[in-house]
Amino acid sequence: MTVQQKMKTLTHFINGVEVAGTSGRFSEVYNPSTGEVIAQAPLATKEEVKQAIQLAKAAFPGWKKTAIGKRVEVLHHFRQLLIEKQDELIALICEESGKTREDAKGEIVRGIESVDMAISAPQMLKGEYSVNVGGNINAFSAKSPLGVVATIAPFNFPVMVPLAITSMAVAVGNAVILKPSERVPISALFISKLWKEAGLPDGIWTVVNGDKEAVNELLENKEIQAISFVGSTPVAEYIYQTGTKHNKRVAAFGGGKNFMIVMPDANLEQTANAFLGAAYGAASQRCMAISGALVVGKDTEQRFTDILKEKIAQLKIGPYTDPEVDFGPVITQQSKDVIIRYIDGAIAEGANLVIDGRNPKICETSKGFYLGPTLLNNVTPDMTIFKEEVFGPARIVVGVQTLQEAIDVINNHELGNGVTMFTNSGAAARKFQEEIEVGMVGVNVPIPIPVGYHNFGGWKRSKFGEGHMFGPDQARFFTKAKTISERWPDETENTTSTFAFPSNNDVKS
C-alpha cells in the first residue's frame, strides 16, 4: 500500500487476504494536516465480524500446536520487515494522524519494543516443576493460549498500540482480531501485509474495520476469549463491563490526567523544556501526555509560568511536510471544537489565559485541524478543565503551597494513569513515590511511560481489569495455566482405596 493523494476505498483483512466490506456503510478517513478526505473505511456488520471470528477460530489450533521456536521465527521476520518498511510506515502515520515524521518514527521504535518483548515468549511460557510433592507425585504447570482474542486500538498511535496489544498475543499462540480506530485504519492494513510476508498463517491476524456494531459483536461473541482496549475512560468502562458480563477476560486502558509536580528546588529552565515536549508533543493527543503542572510555592509558580510563556510562544505548528514544526493538527474538526469548548469554559470559570492557541495563523491558509499551544493558569481543582481529560494542546498551571497538597490533589483525582515530579531532593522524591496513587510514576522524567519489558497500566479509572499493555503481565493475560499432578506407580505396588482428602501422609502433626 502506498500513500496516494486521491481517496481510496479500504478493505478488511480476513484469513490472509483483503476483503471488501459488504455493509454499504463507510467512515471517512481524513488527512488532519489538510482537512481532506483521503480514504473511506468499511464499517463491518455483525455477520461480517462473526465470519471473521469463525475463520480465526479455525486457524487457531494449528498455530497453537506450532512449536514456540517456529512462532518466534515469524516474529523475528516481522520485526525485520518493520525496520525495512519504516519509511513507508512513517508516511502512512503522518498522512492519517498528522504527526510529525520524528514523532511517527519514535512511535515505530516503541512499537518494535513490544515485538522484542514478544520474542521473549519462550521465557514467558516456561512453567514450574516440583519433584515428589508427596507420595512420589510430581507436579508441574503449563501455559496455553486462550484461543481467539480481540484488541481495539485508538487513533493516537496507529502503529505502536496495535503492536503493543497484539504482538505477545500472537507469540503465545492466539489468533488475534484487531479493530483499529476508524480514523487511522490504513496503518493497520499495512501491518497486516507485513505479518503475511513474515509467514504468519492465514487467519491468525485479522483486521476488521468498524464502529460500535463491530465492537459489540466482539464483546458479546462467545468465541472471543479476551479483549484488550485502549481509549477514553467512558468507553474503557463500557468495554470492561460489557466484556466481563459475557465472561471474557478484559484489560481496558482509559484516559489520564497526568500532572507534573514542580518543586521550588527544581531547575526551572530544564523543567520547562521537559514540560513542553511532554505536554504538547503530538498535539497533546497522548494518554500519557502531561496535562498540567502543579507548582509548589507562589514565587515558583510565577517564575515557571513566565518561562513557559516565553518558550511556548516560540513553538511552531504545521504539517508533517515541514521538518521544522514541533507538532501538527488534532485528529478531526470535532476534536478541535471540543478542545476550544474546554478553553472557553475554563476562562468562564475564572482561569487566566496565558497563551491563546485557539486561532493559529496557519488556519488562514490551511483547512487542517490546527490548534496552537494554549496555557491557562489560576486553575483550581473544581474547574472542568482540571477534572476532565483534554485530548489536545490546552494545558494548565495549578498553584499549590506544599508537596503534600500536590500529592493530595492528584490522589483525589479519579484518573491515575501517569505522574511525574521535578526536584533535586531525594527525600521529597521518596515521599512522592511512596504516597502517590498513580500507576506510572516518574522523577525528573518528562513522560513516565515504561519500556516494553516493564508493565504499563494506570490506577483508578485509568484502567479497568488486571491486564497490562507491556511487560511480563501481558503474557499472563493472553494465556491460561494448567497444573498437572503426575505419578507412575510400580507394577508390583499394592494400592488400596482411600477416602481421606489427598495429603502428604509423611507430614507429622
C-alpha span between 316 and 314 (Å, rounded): 6
- Strands 249-253 and 463-464, sheet pairing: antiparallel
Could you list the active site residues? 287
Distance CA 31, CA 367 (A): 10
Q: Which domain holds residue 311?
A: 258-443
Do 426 and 375 sit in the same domain of this protein?
yes
CA distance 31 to 305: 34
Residues 306, 405: one domain? yes
* 503 belongs to a structural domain: no
List the helix and strand counts (H, then E) for the chain: 16, 23
Based on the fold, state whether residues 247 and 267 are members of the same structural domain: no
Task: Assess whether 128 and 274 both reside in one domain.
Answer: no
Among 395, 413, 443, identify where a domain stops: 443
Q: Is residue 2 part of a domain?
A: no
In a domain, 489, yes or no: no
In degrees rounded to 5, what are phi and psi of residue 459? -115, 175
Where the chain has pLDDT below 50, the residues are 1-4, 509
Same domain, 326 and 414: yes
- pLDDT of 113-168, one tens digit each? 999 999 999 998 988 899 988 888 889 999 999 999 999 999 999 999 999 999 99
Angle between helices 86-97 and 185-198 (to 10 degrees): 160
Q: Report yes or no on 40 lying in a domain.
A: yes
Strand, helix or coil for residue 218: helix
Same structural domain for residues 174 and 210?
Answer: yes
26 in a structural domain: yes
Same domain assignment for residues 121 and 160:
yes
Scan for cell 463491530, then name that residue.
214
Q: Which three cell numbers stand for residue 135?
A: 507420595
Is residue 429 located within the same domain as residue 311?
yes
Task: Evaluate whether residue 499 is within a structural domain.
Answer: no
Do residue 212 and residue 65 come from a single domain? yes
In order of 61, 424, 477, the CA distances from 66 in angstroms are 9, 52, 20
Question: Which pLDDT score, from 0 to 100, does residue 471 have?
Answer: 77
Question: What's the confidence (pLDDT) of residue 505?
Answer: 62
pLDDT digits (tens, 9 = 90+) for 220-268: 999 999 999 999 999 999 999 999 999 999 999 999 999 999 999 999 9
**What is the model's pLDDT at position 504?**
67
The answer to whether residue 487 is domain-embedded is no
Q: What is the DSSP letter of 330?
A: -
pTM of the model: 0.92
Q: What pLDDT score does 268 carry?
A: 97
Tell me: do 141 and 267 sit in the same domain.
Answer: no
pLDDT at 92: 97
**Domains identified in the chain, total number:** 2
Strands 394-400 and 290-296, bridge-based pairing: parallel
Look at residue 472 and tell me if it is in a domain.
yes
Is residue 153 domain-shared with residue 30, that is, in the same domain?
Answer: yes
CATH number at residue 144: 3.40.605.10
Q: Which residue among 415, 443, 471 closes a domain?
A: 443
Q: What does the pLDDT read at residue 267? A: 97
pLDDT tens, 330-371?
A: 999 999 999 999 999 999 999 999 999 999 999 999 999 999
Supply the pLDDT for residue 509: 45
Residue 271 DSSP label = H
What is the predicted pLDDT for the residue at 6?
Answer: 61
If asked whether residues 141 and 270 sit together in one domain, one would say: no
Among left, alpha and beta (phi > 0; psi -120 to 50; other), residue 248 is beta
Nearest to 155 by CA among 232, 227, 83: 232
Q: What CATH code is carried by the domain that includes residue 319?
A: 3.40.309.10
At 277, list the grid cell.
515536549
pLDDT at res. 506? 55
DSSP-assigned beta bridge partners for residue 17: 14
